[in-house]
């Protein structure tokens, strides 16, 4: 029938990003019921930081698998944060739309810049003249530098929110 033998394995395994869509729904509805958003955003970022610290400190497969679930929870805080921003600018609708567009655009700058920064670091370390090496080979397989940068950014956001 054209079904590979690995399909059953893929159907039984659960990855961290497969469970992530349910968590923002629960988190945002609880934040709306309680009227409190800071601890929902900060707690979500803290769960992501704990997951990154686990991944940074060990190469154990089981521990990194659990850390993947914790890292995926940090995105739920961003969804609650967007609803917080949306309620901050209630009127007029045009002002709220512009504010959300600017905040969303600036929040994605890290994703764009992160690709080029890692590329520039790879060129610097390898001494090559081309930009085809995206991730430096010195980062893998632990990716401690990447986790350290993300933990420091999450910590900065947490301090900024408080």
Q: Is residue 72 part of a domain?
A: yes
pLDDT for res 160: 79
The answer to whether residue 20 is domain-embedded is: yes
pLDDT at position 2 is 46
pLDDT band at 132 (very low <50, low <70, confident <90, very high): very low
Which span out of 52-66, 84-98, 116-130 was modeled with the highest average pLDDT?
52-66
Task: Quote the pLDDT of residue 127.
Answer: 52
Residue-level pLDDT at 75: 82
Residue 35 within a domain = yes
Task: Kindly indicate the confidence band of residue 124, based on its pLDDT and cuts at 50, 70 and 90.
Answer: low
Cβ atoms 54, 66 nearer than 8 A? yes
Give the structural domain span for 62.
Answer: 15-102+143-161
Distance CA 133, CA 135 (A): 6
Residue 42 lies in a domain: yes
**132 lies in a domain?**
no
- Angle at Cα 158 formed by Cα 135 and Cα 106, nearest 5°? 60
Q: Is residue 67 part of a domain?
A: yes
Residue 77 near residue 41 (C-beta atoms within 8 A): yes
Residue 54, in any domain of the structure: yes
Q: What is the pLDDT of residue 14?
A: 61
What's the rounded mean pLDDT across residues 42-49? 88
* 34, 64 contact by CB (below 8 A): no
* pTM passes above 0.85: no
What's the CA gap between 47 and 72, in Å, rounded? 9
Whole-number pLDDT of residue 50: 93
Total of domains in the chain: 1
Average pLDDT over residues 158-162: 77
Is residue 21 situated within a structural domain?
A: yes
**CA 96, 98, 99, 104 torsion: positive or negative?**
positive
């Amino acid at each position: 029938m054209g079904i590979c033998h690995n399909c059953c394995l893929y159907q039984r395994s659960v990855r961290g990003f497969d469970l992530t869509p349910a968590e923002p729904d629960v988190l945002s509805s609880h934040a709306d019921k309680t009227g409190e958003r800071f601890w929902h955003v900060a707690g979500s970022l803290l769960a992501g930081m704990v997951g990154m610290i686990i991944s940074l400190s060990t190469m154990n497969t089981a521990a990194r698998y659990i850390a993947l679930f914790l890292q995926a929870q940090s995105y739920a805080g961003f969804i609650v944060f967007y609803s917080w921003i949306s309620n901050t600018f209630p009127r007029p609708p045009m002002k709220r739309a512009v504010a959300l567009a600017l905040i969303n655009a600036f929040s994605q700058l890290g994703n764009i810049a992160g690709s080029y920064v890692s590329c520039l670091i790879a060129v610097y370390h390898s001494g090559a003249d081309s930009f085809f090496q995206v991730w430096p080979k010195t980062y893998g397989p632990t990716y401690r530098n990447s986790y350290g940068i993300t933990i420091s950014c999450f910590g900065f956001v947490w301090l900024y929110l408080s």
